Amino acid sequence: MDNFTFYSPTKFVFGSNTESQCGSLVKEFGGTKVLIVYGGGSVVRSGLLDKIKQSLSASSINYSELGGIVPNPKDDKVYEGIDICRNEKVDFVLAVGGGSAIDTAKAIAAGVPYDGDFWDFFSGKASVQKALPVATVLTIAAAGSEGSGNTVITKVDGMLKRGAGSDCLRPVFSILNPQLTVTLPAYQTACGAADIMAHVFERYFTNTRDVEITDRLCEAVLLTMINEVPKVIKHPDNYQARANIMWAGMVAHNNTVGVGRSHDWNSHGIEHELSALYDCAHGAGLAVIMPAWMTYVKNHDIMRFAQAAVRIWGCEMDFQNPENTAIEGITRFKNFLSSIGLPVTFKELGAKEEDIPLLVKNFGIGNGKTGGFVPLGKDDIEAIYRLAL
């Protein structure tokens, strides 16, 4: 196990009707003027936005609004939000929605006290040192952004999708009401599930030895997803299964399951180029990429893939030929993704073989290599895209 620091100071308020505590929580964490960041659509139609405003007003909290955040959120809304905060002396950013609203809120929170262009944090030119406090009211289990210090934004100019992170971007509180997710269509639910599972797998495939505790915690989250996701695909209004998935989504990404071990975020990176180019759901792109990535890198540590197959997918261990077990685990993962309605090939996603050179170029490593479980060069990236055809 490697040395690590684990710091997850977010206050999580979980369960039915918890959104009514929003105003008092903002007050508890010192907010006086809030920017509410949201997408639109269901947050407005369902009456959730009105409830949040009422809760803020009941605690005498003033607010401004920034609606219209889209999936794979863009930098233009971040600039708009930063301007509002500066002009209206906002001291607290509240996201109401999923990963897109939350990530936009975080980027705004980091940008407000920063003298330069907020994109510096995403291009690697600067690191986030301070930020306005951020909080969330979550409406989809997926990105895990409600418990993480990370944000992913797409720069419209070039459609570059990049991430940034800092402990000061961890939400001060996050409200998780599973009831808010029961109206989600099956496809979006499944995309969220793929994202959650990917967050665990990116931590699970590690080169760090002697990590039994985090191996087991990773497996715990994945076993939960395998058990609970089919239930909500069949019965979207199953509150209890929604609750298990929603909390699993948080645990998957606040690093509870990933401390003290090297990670591999290449599947996320390889996928980001798909969702940047095609504007597909991130989770759908991951469903296409992750099994291909696993197939490509499995020989690096066949016993780790065999462990995943046995402990997560319930495969019988083939002691004579562990590779068979490893392959069977990947196959079951792919079948699981298909069974919950996700695409697992370029074709099913609507991605095009002829775009592969552009995807590889956009990945932007030139002649270098990525880090991770297996360092990958541009030829490897191309091979993984081709395995996903």
Listed ranges 137-145, 221-229, 269-277, 345-353: which one lies at the site for a copy of itself (CB under 8 A)? 221-229
The distance of closest approach from Cβ of residue 228 to a copy of itself in the complex, given in angstroms and rounded to an integer, is: 6
Cβ atoms of 362 and 277 closer than 8 Å = yes
Tell me if 336 contacts a copy of itself by CB under 8 A.
Answer: no
- Please, which residue, 132 or 250, has the CB nearer to a copy of itself? 250
Tell me if 227 contacts a copy of itself by CB under 8 A.
Answer: yes
Applying CB under 8 A, among 96, 109, 233, 251 the residue interacting with a copy of itself is 251
Tell me, by CB under 8 A, how many residues bind a copy of itself.
42
Tell me how far apart the alpha carbons of residues 220 and 226 are, in angstroms, rounded to a whole number.
10
In the window 37-76, what residues touch a copy of itself (CB under 8 A)?
A: none
Instruction: Give me the DSSP letters along 194-218.
Output: HHHHHHHHHHHS-S----HHHHHHH
Applying CB under 8 A, among 221, 297, 309, 327 the residue interacting with a copy of itself is 221
Applying CB under 8 A, among 85, 141, 180, 217 the residue interacting with a copy of itself is 217
Secondary structure (H, E, C), 79-95: HHHHHHHHHCCCCEEEE
- Please, which residue, 8 or 345, has the CB nearer to a copy of itself? 8
107 is written with which tokens? 């980027």
Per-residue contact string for residues 359-388; x = within reach of a copy of itself by CB under 8 A: ------------------------------
Instruction: Give me the DSSP letters along 201-263.
Output: HHHHS-S----HHHHHHHHHHHHHHHHHHHHHHH-TT-HHHHHHHHHHHHHTTSSTTTTTS--
Listed ranges 3-11, 53-61, 101-109, 121-129: which one lies at the site for a copy of itself (CB under 8 A)? 3-11
Tell me if 211 contacts a copy of itself by CB under 8 A.
Answer: yes
Tell me if 3 contacts a copy of itself by CB under 8 A.
Answer: yes
Applying CB under 8 A, among 76, 88, 210, 316 the residue interacting with a copy of itself is 210
On the 0-12 / 13-18 / 19+ scale of CB atoms within 10 A, 323 is middle
The distance of closest approach from Cβ of residue 126 to a copy of itself in the complex, given in angstroms and rounded to an integer, is: 22
Cα angle 121, 110, 254 (rounded to 5 degrees) comes to 85
- Please, which residue, 90 or 141, has the CB nearer to a copy of itself? 141
Tell me how far apart the alpha carbons of residues 247 and 351 are, in angstroms, rounded to a whole number.
32
Applying CB under 8 A, among 44, 126, 220, 302 the residue interacting with a copy of itself is 220
Helix (H, G, I), strand (E, B) or coil at 321: coil
Cβ atoms of 203 and 217 closer than 8 Å = no
Listed ranges 108-116, 244-252, 261-269, 364-372: which one lies at the site for a copy of itself (CB under 8 A)? 244-252
DSSP class of 74 = B
Tell me how far apart the alpha carbons of residues 289 and 138 are, in angstroms, rounded to a whole number.
26
Helix (H, G, I), strand (E, B) or coil at 359: helix
Cβ atoms of 62 and 51 closer than 8 Å = no
- Please, which residue, 228 or 264, has the CB nearer to a copy of itself? 228
Tell me if 262 contacts a copy of itself by CB under 8 A.
Answer: no
Tell me if 260 contacts a copy of itself by CB under 8 A.
Answer: yes
Contact residues for a copy of itself (CB under 8 A)? 1-16, 18, 209-214, 216-217, 219-221, 223-224, 227-228, 240-241, 243-244, 247-248, 251, 256, 259-260
